[in-house]
Structure 1
């Protein structure tokens, strides 16, 4: 024992942990003081091992007093934290002992005990928690209030109400918060009474917001005119919470109008320009709920601020849905930003009253306006606009073309597919490209052969569009044409078709992709390897292993990833062989890819101490998903030796320390 005592004090962490482990299974009372001492060790591994042995070899009664004594050590946070964690881990087994230990003059220990009991939520500790509300130390009282609030037990409401009305601000403040979190309506009249106490208005308003009782709005709304700007703002945020908790907008705004009258809009508009983000959001929301057209101007002015544009948009939609025509005058503007913004609002409201103004905007000089108008008018489901949207397929701006494709796809029920297919003969490559994209988007199966013929188009963008469309349609015939595209003269087309075939898991395409794996273009070989991995066919293993000799590191890394997806012993052996690569990126890829295989722990553990920090973190994350005891031990060791903060954080997250 003397030797073990000496070893537990050794400067070498490995010797200390070995000494602690040797205490396991002895089950002698003389070992308990040594284990308790080890709980104050600087190493988390030593502390954890000591706790585990105590829990496994001894009854609670044999070590609980020593565990509680660790709470008194002021100069060793590790010892205190270990004791607190151990006590929490004991759950209800510790309750009786902690209740008795609370009878101490040490205020810090009393607070620690309340923290532990608060986490355990054992009903047997409830009376002590209530008694702690009257503790002489303010920190103990506040901690008790906080934990009682978390419990959410109605049985503590009366005690919290008593504290709220006690006049002790230090505990009344968290008591109000706790009453809000518990959610018992019994607290409402007492919280309303507490509103008369200025220092308590902040926590009380927050609590009333959590309770969200509509009858209390009449008491909250007047604070929108309070002399304190902070309280005004808090009242606004509280009313916003009422709305989010399901109180009707009409009830909220009806009370605001009744109490504040014509001043309501002025108050809300003023706060909408607050320098506090959350206050502005509350005000903008309430301006929308008020459904007052007087809000249009200020809201549109705020819409220029990107941070609040979505909130303003939602507010305008709320007003506009109630009266869509009220927004029509706002379209009459030369301000491009405003036109764009109102167009987006109109799209969300989707009222037929906007058809004429949106149709006019389709030909606006601003490309963004044209795009927004195209989408906005398409959701009206009116086929009259189809001809005009087809014109936008040849717009000089690509984003407008894309919007036109999306808009026309929204109207697919009314589209004349034979007419669209005939447009593939157009001399305008923009029209051909975008009609092809549209045919794919609407899943026009009848167009597959015509799309296949378009693979001969001399315009590469048209051919790329064909690949995209065929990968959406996904019929056997579509897969056949995608396979043909693997031989296209342009590497970009070969890449696109290869990736699409892998993504849609095309049948009978493995051989073609294997041939592509020897393409002279590096990026094409990468695409071939990636697709072979996605297909998961064992037939691809040998060709992928051949790619591990490729001159391009990118190709090699992709081949490793593909082998990791396909699985199997042959693939596993090939990846293990790449761990010796002098290229750190390839080594890291191999480590990560081995994560999908079994029985690789012993292969990966040495990389926890690799010179490359990124290789170490890769090994940590892969091993962290494995459950072996050896793996956890090695990760725990890393806590004492790892110097890189990123790697250390990853280990701590996995071990949850």
Structure 2
């Protein structure tokens, strides 16, 4: 019958869409342009006709990936979450499935949707019930989702879950309580800092960092200062002190910049960059000569975040560091600081042997807004590592000397360079760019065609920037 045919067709649509999503279909169908329109139409129809069925099939078909190995429930949950709020009813039903893997996928997907504010109050009671699931991973995901949903009905069930037999469930329940504003969650996590198992202590530290509750600052500082504590736990404590931005954390973090542990020093430098307290400037400058290249790199990053002019000269000197990542981070930081004295050293860095350094030097020159670097950036358009960054920088600088070189770059074999060159020509506003940009409407790359359209809108106004047929 016609109805039976419609049902079979709908089920086929659902199965095909689920396979595309669960097996990473986007990667392979994107290579076959002849199929693009058919696949887009298929997915559009599924979004209208059967998001709940797609959720069901994704769970079942997502058990195996294209290599024949089991996927984690969180991989499948990520695919499920992409279906949006229309999948919520089916996910709620899946929480009662006999297969713990299916229940876990559903709980994790609802948690992800809640975090993105796409789930709603319908999920609260089912997730509360899932706190008593026999599978600990289901209980963990349920706790996480309830914390994100922020519904007061979850408080008492989560308090009960803080006494769960599984350590991870207890920590996730406490974290959820903290997100709901219940002090008992923070109290539990602080108490867990004394747990006999260091992994449990580290989890508690990280949970306190996620919460950013001021009551957690003093206990976290105590962990950071405890030289008998494992370095991984202390390193996590340093990172946890990024939130809230509490001034009490600054001096302890400065102190451990000299710690024996490389991980602790590195985390302290990162935290000081986030806290952005001027007291950290001189200690971070001193760390630019640390024996560890990772610590030096984080110190350079932190100085860029702090934005203090005292960091300029030391960062210029760091452009000659033996490690390429350190030099690159220093170049980035100089761009953030915006001091004109960095222009000449950054121009020199455009010839660095390391592509990372050249990339960040080009980007920094664009941020500095000094036309002294224009000719060097034009030359850098030919650099396969730097080309598109150089084009972006030329657009930022607003100097029309770069127009002809950018027009030539519209024919570069790298689509990123063509996109950046088109964007830059739009920003420069020079009429010489109009005709070459129109020619890009026939480019084989959708991204390039869109960039050309946007650039022409900037040059001539929205009504004049519309592409010819096939340029969408």
Quote the Cα distance in structure 2 between the aligned partners of 1:604 and 1:516: 31
Instruction: Within 5 Å, give how 1:64-79 maps onto structure 2.
Output: none
Quote the Cα distance in structure 1 between the aligned partners of 2:322 and 2:269: 21
CA contact (8 A) 2:111 2:145 kept: no
Quote the Cα distance in structure 1 between the aligned partners of 2:361 and 2:84: 52
SS of alignment partner, residue 453 of structure 1? helix
Larger RCO (CA under 8 A, 6+ residues apart): 2
- The alpha-carbon distance between structure 1 residues 421 and 569, as it changes in their structure 2 partners (threshold 3 A), is same
Matched, 1:400 2:203: yes
Cα deviation, 1:548-586, whole Å, max 9, x if unaligned, reads 23222322222122111112221223323434x4x3233
Equivalent position of 2:452 in the other structure:
651
Cα deviation, 1:49-103, whole Å, max 9, x if unaligned, reads xxxxxxxxxxxxxxxxxxxxxxxxxxxxxxxxxxxxxxxxxxxxxxxxxxxxxxx
Quote the Cα distance in structure 2 between the aligned partners of 1:280 and 1:386: 32
Quote the Cα distance in structure 2 between the aligned partners of 1:606 and 1:589: 15
Matched, 1:373 2:173: yes
SS of alignment partner, residue 440 of structure 1? coil
Equivalent position of 2:227 in the other structure:
426
Equivalent position of 1:364 in the other structure:
166
- The alpha-carbon distance between structure 1 residues 394 and 518, as it changes in their structure 2 partners (threshold 3 A), is farther
Equivalent position of 2:288 in the other structure:
486
SS of alignment partner, residue 509 of structure 1? helix
Deviation at 1:523, TM superposition (A): 1.0
Deviation at 1:519, TM superposition (A): 0.7
Quote the Cα distance in structure 1 between the aligned partners of 2:441 and 2:217: 67
Deviation at 1:529, TM superposition (A): 0.7
SS of alignment partner, residue 625 of structure 1? helix
Quote the Cα distance in structure 2 between the aligned partners of 1:608 and 1:327: 53
SS of alignment partner, residue 134 of structure 2? coil
Quote the Cα distance in structure 2 between the aligned partners of 1:227 and 1:300: 29
Deviation at 1:397, TM superposition (A): 7.3
Quote the Cα distance in structure 1 between the aligned partners of 2:223 and 2:56: 58
Deviation at 1:632, TM superposition (A): 0.8
Equivalent position of 1:538 in the other structure:
340
CA contact (8 A) 1:607 1:616 kept: yes
Instruction: Within 5 Å, give how 1:33-432 maps onto structure 2.
Output: 284-285=88-89, 297=96, 303-305=103-105, 309-310=109-110, 318=121, 330-347=130-147, 348=149, 349-350=151-152, 351-361=154-164, 364=166, 367=168, 369-379=169-179, 380-382=182-184, 384-391=187-194, 395-396=198-199, 400-401=203-204, 403-406=206-209, 409-410=212-213, 412=214, 414-415=215-216, 417=218, 420-421=221-222, 424-428=225-229, 429-432=231-234
CA contact (8 A) 2:257 2:287 kept: yes
Cα deviation, 1:16-61, whole Å, max 9, x if unaligned, reads xxxxxxxxxxxxxxxxxxxxxxxxxxxxxxxxxxxxxxxxxxxxxx
Quote the Cα distance in structure 1 between the aligned partners of 2:247 and 2:237: 14
Q: CA RMSD in A?
A: 4.3
User: What 5-or-longer segments of structure 2 have no aligned partner?
Assistant: 11-51, 59-79, 457-464, 468-472
Deviation at 1:471, TM superposition (A): 1.8
Greater mean alpha carbon deviation, residues 535-544 or residues 610-619: 610-619
Equivalent position of 1:524 in the other structure:
326
SS of alignment partner, residue 162 of structure 2? helix
Q: Given the alignment, which residue of 384, 394, 397 partners 1:584?
A: 384
Cα deviation, 1:138-186, whole Å, max 9, x if unaligned, reads xxxxxxxxxxxxxxxxxxxxxxxxxxxxxxxxxxxxxxxxxxxxxxxxx
Deviation at 1:441, TM superposition (A): 2.0
Equivalent position of 1:164 in the other structure:
none
Quote the Cα distance in structure 1 between the aligned partners of 2:278 and 2:159: 44
SS of alignment partner, residue 377 of structure 1? helix
Deviation at 1:595, TM superposition (A): 0.9
- The TM-score normalised by the length of structure 2 is 0.66
Instruction: Within 5 Å, give how 1:502-513 maps onto structure 2.
Output: 502-513=304-315
Cα deviation, 1:303-345, whole Å, max 9, x if unaligned, reads 4445993299869973686xx7x97664344312321233224
SS of alignment partner, residue 156 of structure 2? helix
CA contact (8 A) 2:409 2:421 kept: yes
Cα deviation, 1:347-370, whole Å, max 9, x if unaligned, reads 233544135433223x625x4x35
- The alpha-carbon distance between structure 1 residues 280 and 273, as it changes in their structure 2 partners (threshold 3 A), is farther
Quote the Cα distance in structure 2 between the aligned partners of 1:333 and 1:456: 47
Equivalent position of 2:27 in the other structure:
none
CA contact (8 A) 1:467 1:497 kept: yes
Deviation at 1:435, TM superposition (A): 3.0
Quote the Cα distance in structure 2 between the aligned partners of 1:611 and 1:472: 39
CA contact (8 A) 1:495 1:524 kept: yes
Equivalent position of 1:222 in the other structure:
none
